[in-house]
Amino acid sequence: MWKIGDVEIDNRVVVAPMAGVSNAAFRTIVKEQGAGLVVCEMISDKALLFHNPKTLKMLHIEPEEYPLSIQILGGETKTMVEAAKYIAKNTDAAIIDINMGCPVPKVTNNESGSKFLKNPDHIYEVVSQVVDAVDKPVTVKMRCGWDKAHYYPVETALAAQKAGAKMIAMHGRTREQMYRGQADWNILKKVREALSIPFVANGDIRTPIDAKNALEITGADAVMVGRAALGNPWVIHQMVHYLETGEMLADPSPAEKISQAIDHLNRLIQLKGEEVAVKEFRKLSSYYLKGLPGSAKYKETLHTQVEAIPMIQLLKQCGSEAQERLDLRQYQLNHKNEE
């Protein structure tokens, strides 16, 4: 157990905020798989202050998600402060996180996300004023730099700490790298050594062994897992269990994968209605079917669906076929060994 401010976190696995994914449906699933902390997908400060209906719906929190962090995104100090105050007053979030790491041009062109990494003074200004405006712990998620010419991982982290941040999560890639190349865990180690507040390592943490290695190399208090959990929420349970016991748990069967996929779809329907949920789940279905024998043809068909029942039927058919193929492979292998 460790703490962010006065908020207790049960274990060392945090699930990252992912745009278009980290809604209450996804968060409750990974929370059930044992995530110590879940983070809401980024919320635009201006959209929130204009009471954009879609943005307000993104603030929905289920009771079983606690402790939950809500992440805000913006480039102007005044609107970031007002957004933080709105969240503190109107939601049950335990923590407010500031996005200083998103690398996509749509965000950075608005002086938001990883654009902050060019100027440690701007980081200090925004974080300090948000901290002063709310009673909840404030954290920061960032990358290790903008590019090779603007690379100040220790300085940016220290600026956030000096401003009053209670935890920093850092992705070991620059904005220029996007998701290419390798995350630099060694620079994360240097950042960890410079800080006195909790630190979370992010980037290339895909397996339980990755989680253990990242913790050992960086000295971080926890690891943050993002894309590895897409269609694979079991990896969170596997990581938590491995870190606590050293035992590697088996991967789920095709039936278990399909059951979880259908459950995810149903949670999305409850949250957003069938039309929106089915549309959003088309992409997510590909993650759930990844690695299942014979799934390619189902992925293409699933991406054309507009209703839940046909989508669920296709998922079940895919799961049955995948299991039959696996059983056949095992039979052939056993028969060959007997010979």
The catalytic residue positions are 102
Range 218-221, long-range pairs (CB < 8 A, 24+ positions): 218/185, 218/188, 218/189, 218/192, 219/189, 219/192, 219/193, 220/188, 220/192, 221/2, 221/12, 221/167
In angstroms, the Cα distances linking 148 to 78, 125, 168, 229 are: 30, 24, 21, 30
Q: Please give the span between the terminal C-alpha atoms of the chain, in angstroms, as a whole number.
A: 53
Residue 150 gets which letter from DSSP?
B
Closest C-alpha among 198, 219, 223, 220 to residue 210: 223
Residue 207 CA, chain-centre distance (Å), reads 15
In angstroms, the Cα distances linking 169 to 96, 178, 277 are: 13, 16, 30
What residues contact residue 103 under an 8 Å CB cut-off, 6+ apart? 113, 114, 143, 175, 178
Q: How does strand 13-15 pair with strand 2-4?
A: unpaired
In angstroms, the Cα distances linking 166 to 6, 216, 263, 271 are: 9, 22, 35, 31
CB-based contact 9:222 (threshold 8 Å): yes
* Token pair listed for 172: 């070991």
Cα–Cα distance, 134 to 130 (Å, whole number): 7
Cα–Cα distance, 321 to 328 (Å, whole number): 11
